[in-house]
Amino acid sequence: MKLVSWNVNGLRACLGKGFLDYVATENPDIICLQETKLQPEQAVFDLDGYHRFFNSADKKGYSGTAILTKEEPLSVTYDFGDDIHRHEGRIITAEYPDFYLVCCYTPNSQDELKRLDYRMQWEDDLRTYLKELDAVKPVVYCGDLNVAHQEIDIKNPKSNRRNAGFTDEERGKMTDLLSSGFVDSFRHLYPDAAGIYSWWSYRFNARANNAGWRIDYFIVSERLKERIGDAAIRTEVYGSDHCPVVLELK
């Protein structure tokens, strides 16, 4: 089974930049999208063979997630936890026969870390949610998680030390998650792979200079790690300031 996760930074814009061509070439079984920035009725495009599930933010043109899947899930739920987490369209959970798939667009801590306190609450509550799912069946958790976990995951770690996405607090929450029964699929297979990123700023020719961050992940329950066939980052695919990441499960 091949799964793709991609922050498309506006699905309608990405559709005009080769999204459907990429899907035809990759031919994944499941596609998870983040930052769709649309309401479901605005998702007008031809993609035969996929069931579609969208979770949109209350605020139009903001955030949003989607799952496009060839196999119809047993169930689909939107958002999680307390009401505070239920207004930005950031989570979709699809249940399949042998795992739960959680598509996530993690809140950014923002400039001057003004949303860091909420981010910490989000991380704790979501980890609890993932562990509850994992107690029932294994979990595949993916998306733009808005954190570069280790220095190897970012081009310029020293100058970004206190920037959103590379604070000690955010990195610590990722460590907490991975210490509670989950595995970063890409790092599991490629522990020393450097210079491979999934997001580049639109400023300062960052992508041309490969001044990037690895902030898009497939994280799986520990007991799924032997089923990881490959974990890839499609750095050659354009259409967004992020590139797709891929998980192949045996």
For residue 62, how many other CB atoms are within 10 A of its CB?
Answer: 14
Out of 100, 105, 129, 217, pick the active-site residue.
105
| Whether residue 105 lies in the annotated active site | yes
The reply to whether 144 belongs to the active site is yes
Amino acid at 18: G
Q: Give the 3-state secondary structure percentages of the chain, helix then strand then coil, rounded to 5.
A: 25, 30, 45
162 burial type by CB count under 10 A (0-12 exposed, 13-18 middle, 19+ buried): exposed
Nearest to residue 224, comparing CAs of 133, 112, 116, 110?
A: 133
> Of residues 22, 134, 144, 184, which has the active-site annotation?
144
Q: How remote is the C-alpha of 97 from its chain's centroid?
A: 22
DSSP string covering 156-195: -TTTTTTSTTS-HHHHHHHHHHHTTTEEEHHHHH-TT--S
Catalytic positions, written as ranges: 105, 144
